[in-house]
Amino acid sequence: MSDLRLDATQLDRYSRHVIMDEIGPEGQQRLLEGSVLVVGAGGLGSPAIQYLAAAGVGRIGIVDDDVVERSNLQRQIVHADADVGRPKVESAADYVRALNPDIDVETHEKRLNPENVADLVDGYDVVCDASDNFATRYLLNDYCVLSNTALAHGAIYRFEGQVTTFTNERDGSAASEETDVNADEEDSPCYRCLFPEAPEPGTVPDCATTGVLGVLPGTVGCIQATEVVKYLLGKGDLLEGRLLMYDAMDMSFEPVEMRANPACPVCGDQPEIESVEEVSYEGTCSMPAD
């Protein structure tokens, strides 16, 4: 990390971080020098983007190929009524710039695919998966495992959400050189350790069909942002190895332990997936049959 150089305005803006022993000026500068790619500027991405920008994460990339619709505004809080019809990445970037001029915000108005995932992910310290479809989740998981990139995952359904973090530190990778979070633990599980393949298309309804509680993604997205900040600071215990289940109706949180699966097709002992180009990310997101 370079020499401390917080100016007077930054010392004022981040004063509630600077006075904390666990963060201090060194930690705040670490955040300012950190970078995160947020994939999805919708329900989960909105609160994550807000709090990452407010916290001073210095470079935020936003990936989304959609435009703002009025039905989004019940939960996607970086967008406003005047933004209807605008690309979500533009609306979200304007929000970030208005909130915190320290932030270098990069917009990627495109859909993630096997051909562009390397160009989008490489160069960021951590990825925040705020996507809303299985193809993107599996593609992000696989590429982050193969590139040893940390991934903060979140998903929502009606009144329920789930959050976890995959540090993807394994096989002596360099991913842990900048952080001591969850150090000296066994290999990180990945999303495929839990769910080797996606469900058949059409078997899991989306929020347009079943609805979603508007405040639900706010809770889940904020937890994702918390995980990203902790990872960049190298402080605290991440949700690695734990899937945190949230039920808004019961107001309950239940952590479910996860372990790396030796038979996992991407991070197991004999992985089948060595490149995202080998996988068909339509349908069940699995290796094509021979």
Return the active site residues.
Answer: 207
DSSP β-bridge partners for residue 47: none
DSSP one-letter code for 108: E
> How far apart, in whole angstroms, are the C-alpha atoms of residue 254 and residue 6?
39
Q: Does an H or E element contain 47, and which?
A: helix 45-55
Q: Which two tokens stand for residue 70?
A: 């009025």
Q: List, in sequence order, the alpha helices (H) in 148-282.
A: 191-194, 207-210, 216-233
> How far apart, in whole angstroms, are the C-alpha atoms of residue 38 and residue 64?
9
CA distances, 57 to each of 14, 163, 212, 229 (Å):
11, 20, 29, 8
Mind giving me the DSSP string for 83-103?
A: GTTSBHHHHHHHHHHHH-TT-
Q: Which two tokens stand for residue 216?
A: 């639900």
Check residue 168 and give left, alpha or beta (phi > 0: left; psi -120 to 50: alpha).
Answer: left
Place of tokens 């994702």: 224
Q: Are 149 and 126 in contact (CB under 8 A)?
A: yes
Nearest 5°: phi and psi at 87?
-60, 140
> How far apart, in whole angstroms, are the C-alpha atoms of residue 264 and residue 197?
10
> How far apart, in whole angstroms, are the C-alpha atoms of residue 127 and residue 261?
22
> How far apart, in whole angstroms, are the C-alpha atoms of residue 133 and residue 155?
9
